[in-house]
């Protein structure tokens, strides 16, 4: 089956938002992060997602981060802008803005806190898709939103021409399998540790957290799968597995990944409250994990 969102196949990095000590956005550092991913060969960036601490940004900052990433990328890589909200009107506004400034697509998380019915999810995404001709990637992450978008709902939404892909972060292989069997949606793993399993079923890539520090390792894994090199892909998967799991279980994302970047000399500043840094025991554990991987 031909997939609708293959322009987003490969490695998308859910980029962090750098903050200065006063918690203002450090736009100069943000531009340097874009340049880093261009140099590394990352296919696409997703600013202002979960990893970008989107709930702590006001709407003006949210738009400024999207515009900065799109403008500075200047077509050197794709940009899948995070434009989700628990308000459909706000999500439409952010998505229209992303289109205006030149984003390639919109990563739209399911409305959080509201806990919509499946009919509510269906109407929310259709309202977005009808309002703006920007490719939409559904972001299904019930661990953050408090409810899941059912596979049947996403299969129905796939009938809309602007809804092209799903970032699947439920951890359910069944949902990915159902989407790949019964819809033309491109399926992207929303968990770094599940990149190989999802791609082995026909998924097309990953929207990654760990890619903030090791994008080339992920690019290697994805390329092995694309070329049918299963044994090599398995080696790459097992190399990445412990680091990927640790960065998502040591503490709430993006606390560990921002700590890892600081340890590796790529300090991206503070976290915004209510996010707080790792304690000393957690940081020591993270240092050991990074050392075991060969990063420090």
Per-chain mean pLDDT for the chain = 97
- Taking only the tens place, the pLDDT of each residue in 177-226 is 999 999 999 999 999 999 999 999 999 999 999 999 999 999 999 999 99
153 assigned to some structural domain: yes
Q: Give phi and psi for 45, each to the nearest 5.
A: -120, 145
Average pLDDT of the residues in 70-90: 98
Q: Which is catalytic among the residues 121, 125, 139, 258?
A: 139
Q: Which is catalytic among the residues 63, 78, 167, 258?
A: 167
Instruction: Tell me how far apart the alpha carbons of residues 144 and 277 are, in angstroms, rounded to a whole number.
Output: 19
pLDDT at 227: 97
246 assigned to some structural domain: no
- Tell me which residue range forms the domain holding 60: 6-229
270 assigned to some structural domain: no
234 assigned to some structural domain: no
pLDDT at 248: 85
pLDDT at 267: 87
Instruction: Tell me how far apart the alpha carbons of residues 31 and 69 are, in angstroms, rounded to a whole number.
Output: 7
pLDDT at 247: 86
121: pLDDT strictly greater than 90: yes
Angle at 135 between CA 166 and CA 206, to 5 degrees: 35
pLDDT at 246: 85
Q: Give yes or no for a contact between 18 and 50, defined as CB atoms under 8 angstroms apart.
A: no
pLDDT level of residue 48 (50, 70, 90 thresholds):
very high
- Taking only the tens place, the pLDDT of each residue in 36-47 is 999 999 999 999
46 assigned to some structural domain: yes
pLDDT at 285: 95
Locus of tokens 């021409």? 161
Average pLDDT of the residues in 108-114: 96
The number of distinct structural domains making up the chain is 1
Q: Give yes or no for a contact between 185 and 164, defined as CB atoms under 8 angstroms apart.
A: yes
Q: Is 113 a catalytic residue?
A: no
145 assigned to some structural domain: yes
pLDDT at 283: 96
257 assigned to some structural domain: no
Q: Give yes or no for a contact between 212 and 13, defined as CB atoms under 8 angstroms apart.
A: yes
Domain CATH for 102: 3.20.20.70
pLDDT level of residue 230 (50, 70, 90 thresholds):
very high
Average pLDDT of the residues in 110-132: 97
Average pLDDT of the residues in 46-58: 97
pLDDT at 256: 96
296: pLDDT strictly greater than 90: no
Closest CA to 187 of 142, 221, 144, 155: 155
186 assigned to some structural domain: yes
Average pLDDT of the residues in 166-170: 97
Average pLDDT of the residues in 231-251: 93
Q: Model's pTM, two decimal places?
A: 0.97
Q: Is 125 a catalytic residue?
A: no
1: pLDDT strictly greater than 90: no
pLDDT at 238: 96
Q: Hey, is 277 helix, strand or coil?
A: coil
């Amino acid at each position: 089956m031909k997939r609708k969102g293959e322009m987003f196949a490969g490695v998308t990095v859910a980029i962090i938002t750098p903050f200065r000590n006063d918690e203002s956005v450090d736009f100069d550092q943000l531009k340097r992060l874009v340049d880093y991913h261009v140099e590394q060969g990352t296919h696409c960036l997703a600013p202002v997602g979960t990893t970008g601490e989107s709930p702590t940004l006001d709407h003006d900052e949210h738009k400024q981060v999207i515009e900065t990433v799109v403008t500075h990328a200047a077509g050197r890589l794709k940009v899948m802008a995070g434009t989700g909200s628990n308000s459909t009107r706000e999500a439409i506004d952010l998505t229209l803005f992303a289109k205006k400034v030149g984003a390639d697509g919109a990563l739209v998380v399911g409305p959080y806190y509201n806990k919509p019915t499946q009919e509510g999810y269906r109407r929310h995404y259709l309202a977005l898709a009808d309002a703006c001709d920007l490719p939409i990637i559904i972001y299904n992450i019930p661990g953050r939103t408090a409810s899941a978008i059912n596979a049947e709902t996403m299969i129905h939404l796939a009938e809309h021409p602007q809804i092209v892909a799903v970032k699947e972060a439920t951890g359910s292989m069944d949902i990915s399998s159902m989407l790949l069997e019964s819809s033309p949606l491109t399926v992207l793993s929303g968990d770094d540790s599940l990149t190989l399993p999802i791609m082995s079923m026909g998924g097309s890539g990953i929207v990654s957290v760990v890619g903030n520090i090791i994008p080339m390792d992920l690019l290697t894994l994805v390329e092995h799968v694309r070329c049918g090199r299963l044994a090599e892909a398995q080696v790459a998967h097992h190399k990445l597995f412990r680091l990927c799991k640790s960065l998502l279980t040591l503490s709430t994302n993006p606390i560990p990944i921002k700590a890892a970047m600081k340890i590796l000399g790529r300090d991206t500043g503070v976290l915004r409250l209510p996010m707080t840094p790792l304690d000393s025991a957690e940081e020591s554990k993270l240092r050991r994990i990074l050392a075991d991987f060969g990063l420090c």
